[in-house]
Amino acid sequence: MATHAPTILVFFDGACGLCNGFVDFLVARDTEGALRFASLQGQTAASYPTLPAVDSVIVDDGTRLLVRSDAAIAAIAQLGGAWSAVRVLKVVPRAIRDAVYDFIARNRHRWSGRRSSCRVPSEHERSWFLP
């Protein structure tokens, strides 16, 4: 896996089936190694000084912490190539994007279930995940 700068850190709910599916989606398409992942239940999240009180996805892009729809858009856009086009969603007002995001976040456990433990990365994926 090549290193792509800048690397962004995606925090996710390790017990959420939908959040884990989002991570699976990102890992499968991150051919440049542009992303790193840490479970919100893990050591990295616990040691973060100012992690927002969000329980689904948070992105640290190296300069700021992004939440809700901004976090999802930033993570997908970091994949590069055609995935960068997701930035066009920024023309939709944040209030609308976040309302949709919040609706999905509120229902995610009902739709995709809860896991009893956090995602365990495969041998190939380990370099993407922080404790």
pLDDT tens digits for 97-126? 989 888 887 787 676 656 555 556 677 778
Q: Which helix (H) or strand (E) holds 36?
A: strand 35-39
Per-residue model confidence (pLDDT) at position 72: 94
Q: What's at 130, amino acid-wise?
A: L
57 Cβ neighbours under 8 A, 6+ residues apart = 10, 11, 12, 13, 19, 22, 67, 68, 71, 72, 75
1 pLDDT higher than 50: no
10 DSSP β-pair partners: 37, 59
pLDDT tens digits for 69-96? 999 999 999 998 999 999 999 999 999 9
In degrees to the nearest 10, what's the CA dihedral of 5, 66, 110, 29?
A: -10
What pTM does this model have? Answer: 0.82
pLDDT tens digits for 41-53? 889 998 887 877 7
User: From CA 119, how far away is CA 12, in angstroms rounded?
Assistant: 10
89 DSSP β-pair partners: none
Per-residue model confidence (pLDDT) at position 94: 92
